[in-house]
Amino acid sequence: MLTPEQMMAAQKANMDTLLGLTHKAFEGVEKLVELNMQLARAAMSDTAETAKAAMSVKDAQELLALQANLLQPAAEKAAAYNRSLYDIAQTANAEWIKVAEARMAEAQKNLHAMIDTAAKGAPAGTENAVALVKSAVSAANNAFESVHKAARQAADMAEANMQAMAGTAVAASKAAAKANGKAPRRGA
């Protein structure tokens, strides 16, 4: 049974965890807003630059060349934006995972302590039942670790796939610009 002091300590720890996670969530939102503001500024600048360039076009061929030269920077910017979004999400997720793992380790420690305490006060002849409970808890912990490891491997694969897709998109836009016979324009 938990003492009132232990319950208060647990409540305080839970509140500290909640406040910490809330702070991290707000940090993620701030990063997302900052990223979107940077994107909006860059889009306004690019639009003005493109409009000026379009106004100086003398014929349809120059207009097509201008349009082709805009593809690569747009694809690169989209890929960079997606990478930034992914990084923000990954950072927030890592914080949540870290807290969840710490809470899980603490819960496991408390469960083992509770089982040990119960075993000390158990009547004679219940050693097999206590050993069975300990074995079940260990099996559950091992199963959790296996699932956690598989989930982490899946997340690593997803990250590698996303980076490969971003690289492919940029390469495709470079190839398209090159196929048009024009040197790609570098965007800011």
Residue 183: pLDDT band (50, 70, 90) is very low
- Answer yes or no: is 122 within a domain: yes
Output the pLDDT for position 180. Answer: 60
Quick one: pLDDT at residue 186? 46
pLDDT digits (tens, 9 = 90+) for 36-58: 999 999 999 988 998 898 888 88
What is the Cα–Cα distance from 69 to 181, expressed in whole angstroms?
10
Mean of the per-residue pLDDT values for the chain? 82
Kindly tell me if the per-residue pLDDT of 185 is higher than 60: no
Q: Give domain status of residue 105, yes or no.
A: yes
95-121 pLDDT, tens digit each: 888 888 888 888 888 888 877 887 787
Residue 185 lies in a domain: no
Whole-number Å distance between alpha carbons of 2 and 10:
10
Residue range of the domain that includes 128 = 4-179
Integer Cα distance of 152 and 97 in angstroms: 10
Q: What pLDDT score does 176 carry?
A: 65
Indicate the SS3 state at residue 126.
coil
Tell me the CA distances in angstroms from 166 to 40, 70, 176, one per residue in order. 21, 17, 15
pLDDT at 88: 92
66 assigned to some structural domain: yes
Mean pLDDT of 52-79: 84
169 lies in some domain: yes
Tokens of 4: 């009132």
In the chain, % helix, strand, coil (3-state, to 5) comes to 90, 0, 10
Question: What's the pTM?
Answer: 0.61
Residue 154 lies in a domain: yes
Closest residue by Cα to residue 137 from 162, 108, 157: 108
Is 50 in contact with 70 (CB distance < 8 Å)? yes
Residues 92, 184: Cα–Cα separation, whole Å: 36
Tell me, yes or no, whether 187 lies in a domain.
no
184 found inside a domain: no
pLDDT above 50 (res 63): yes
Average of per-residue pLDDT across 150-170: 78
Looking at the structure of the chain, the number of domains it has is: 1
